Amino acid sequence: MTDFLADYQAQLAALYEQPMFGLRQADKQQQLLPLLRSLHQHHLANSEAYHNMFAEVDADNWQSLADVSYLAVRLFKLFSLKSVPDEQIFKVLRSSGTTGQTPAEVFLDRDTSARQSKTLVKIMQAFIGTQRLPMLIIDSPAVLKDKALFSARGAGIQGMAFFGRDHTYALDENMQLDLSAIQAFAEKYAGQPMLVFGFTFMIWQALVEALEQQGNSLNLSQGVLVHSGGWKKLVDKQVDNATFKARLAKATGIAKVHNFYGMAEQVGSVFVECEQGHLHAPLFADVIVRNPYDLSESAQGEQGLFQVLSLLPSSYPGFSLLTEDLGRILGEDDCGCGRKGRYFAVDGRLPKTEIRGCSDTGASL
């Protein structure tokens, strides 16, 4: 294992020296495949569950990213999937989920956790810059205090808090809009760049709709919003991305918006929305779309299930996961924003699967 980790860390270090969205897809694939093969061998040797499922898979036969074997993401709700001894587990991350549903458990050692944090920083800095901005968090500080609420949602807030300063919460302990705190924040940083973060459904219900119902509006026009999670609930309300942005802008003045797609089972490997409205795969991750019926690779533009790849997890076998999310590859290397690699759109969830995501713990609002 020591030999694997030394070589693995050296290869990742070389990747960190490259721009996060600067490689064309063909070149990126050539860099990812050897590392994915190494991760496969590592997890075969160190995870009994992974070995039982994939012992017959020869990674030398993987000639493209679409050849990479995958775990169904649901298995993280059913089994304790880990590739390190219990004494090396640094933290256990539990995904948010519908009440009564078993959460997924993700086992992190210190190396994997540090790797995820470092990669998240590099991805987000490619969109919001390197300067720490005054930060408004569309949530309640209770999320970080209550262990029952601290799951992927709490971890998401902590992870994004690194990018800001003077952290101000927009909701009080009772999950109600704290208008005086927001207005004080807006006045203090009037005319200056600011960072606003929250989970999508929370922003919609606790901020946008609350302001509309009160007949109030805010001046956060210099803010850039980063958000994720809860689109299923907004689709049920017939709120698409364009509607979300339009009513957000009217209520708050915010025009710069970056949605991102990610999951607890692959923390750090987030796919961020660019200025053209497209989600982009960063250097350390990628996405394949598969036909829901036969799991063959879907053609560009065809809807299917996402398989998400990440170079980051060594403490658990989560480097290649088949999700229950539906979407389409939109293109490669030619997005109008100038970023290289694959870009895509998320359409929703596979019918008859449970609603899951960071926003679910705010369902009682």
**What per-residue confidence (pLDDT) applies to 363?**
41
**What per-residue confidence (pLDDT) applies to 355?**
45
Ranges of the chain with pLDDT below 70: 1-2, 96-101, 146-152, 232, 352-365
Closest CA to 346 of 274, 261, 275, 267: 261
**What per-residue confidence (pLDDT) applies to 151?**
58
d(CA 365, CA 204): 11
**What per-residue confidence (pLDDT) applies to 344?**
97
Closest CA to 79 of 107, 113, 57, 60: 107
Q: Name the residue range of residue 199's domain.
A: 1-365
Domain count, the chain: 1
CATH of residue 35 = 3.40.50.12780
Contact assessment for residue 360 and residue 95, using Cβ atoms and an 8 Å cutoff: no
**What per-residue confidence (pLDDT) applies to 353?**
52
